[in-house]
Amino acid sequence: MNSRVISRCLLAGVFLAVCFTTSTSWSIELQPTVFDQGIQQVRFETGLTSDNSDIWLAATDQEEEPQFEEEAQWEAKALNYKQKSPLKAFFMSLAVPGLGQFYYGSRIKPVVFVGVEAVSWLMNSKWSGDGDDLTSAYEVFNLAHWSRDSYGSYLFDVWGDSSDTDINDVTHHLPETNTQQYFEMTGKYDQFGWGWDDAEIGGRDLNSHISVGDLEKITDDSTTIPSSENRFTYEQMRDNANKKYDKADRMIYVVMFNHLVSAFEAYITTNKHNSALKNAENEFAVQVRASLRTSYVKWDTPFMKVTYKF
């Protein structure tokens, strides 16, 4: 084997090595036969006589190489599977749900996670507002139908003292101001039952009991607990307000859960993308196609396009 053959083999080996370690495309122009030239001339002349000749002639000024579907897929794949940081995606979605998904290339999942976040906060705001409105309503109702004076009269008649702070037998002591605890206690505990303006036992109200001096200390015995429709209505109003607040609180849990799901989904999917990238780097594919540059150029040049990836 002489030196010329050896040098050619070395050049061929270098060329193949470059080809196998890169991804590119190149074209080879093919010499048309006399028959092919005749067919192309007929196409050209026929096109000039048709109604669309102006459009066809304009097309000859822009000889574009055809775009192959496989090439577009390769380019999209390379862009989609660019190496990303799973931890970065995790913390981005933990802060803003959907941001990590947008970072690794998704365009649908971010909309879903952001949508869940927006709806959750919207419902939280709505139900919190409803709870505030119902709270204001039951506070007004309480001030209209529950009286400290009536409750003080009951205490004085039973224990001889109109203030529950100095009575050891009284388990709950009413705050001096109308705080949240005040509005809760006046409806929740039986000992405050005689403070309602419609409280009665056996058809007798507080004043009639005082007149005969037979009031008893309220115990767990139902016969000592006055009935009151206003107290029942008040407790229903409070319950409705609390239910609205509970719904608002559940939306906070949904928000927290949405952050965690988005963060872990971004982390896992980014890892999968990176693994797919490593596998894609080991793929080998070749595409070969022959075509004319246009269909309406008199002397067109056929060519063969080869695209390969290793």
Cα–Cα distance, 103 to 164 (Å, whole number): 64
Here the tokens at position 239 are 């319950």
User: For residue 172, what pLDDT is reported?
Assistant: 84
Sequence letter at residue 52: N
Write down the residue that tokens 């793929």 correspond to.
283
Cα–Cα distance, 207 to 205 (Å, whole number): 6
At residue 193's C-alpha, the angle toward residues 189 and 195, to 5°, is: 120
User: For residue 109, what pLDDT is reported?
Assistant: 94
More confidently predicted of 173 and 258: 258
Here the tokens at position 140 are 């007004």
HEC secondary structure over 126-149: HHHHHHHHHHHHHHHHHHHHECHH
- Is the predicted pLDDT of residue 88 greater than 60, yes or no? yes
Mean pLDDT on 274-297: 61
Here the tokens at position 235 are 């407790």
- Is the predicted pLDDT of residue 26 greater than 90, yes or no? no
Write down the residue that tokens 């660019």 correspond to.
82
Mean pLDDT on 15-39: 55
Cα–Cα distance, 263 to 88 (Å, whole number): 10
User: For residue 50, what pLDDT is reported?
Assistant: 45
Closest CA to 120 of 245, 255, 244, 260: 255
Write down the residue that tokens 């409806």 correspond to.
187
User: For residue 65, what pLDDT is reported?
Assistant: 46
Residue spans of alpha helices (H) in the chain: 3-21, 34-48, 53-60, 69-80, 86-95, 99-104, 109-145, 148-159, 180-188, 206-212, 229-280
pTM value?
0.61
Is-contact 273 105, C-beta < 8 A?
A: yes
User: For residue 63, what pLDDT is reported?
Assistant: 45
pLDDT band at 8 (very low <50, low <70, confident <90, very high): low
Condensed to tens digits (0 to 9), the pLDDT of residues 183-212 reads 999 999 998 999 999 999 877 887 776 665
Would you tell me how many other CB atoms lie within 10 Å of the CB of residue 94?
A: 17
User: For residue 14, what pLDDT is reported?
Assistant: 46
Cα–Cα distance, 308 to 285 (Å, whole number): 5
Indicate the angle between helix axes 180-188 and 229-280, nearest 10 degrees: 120
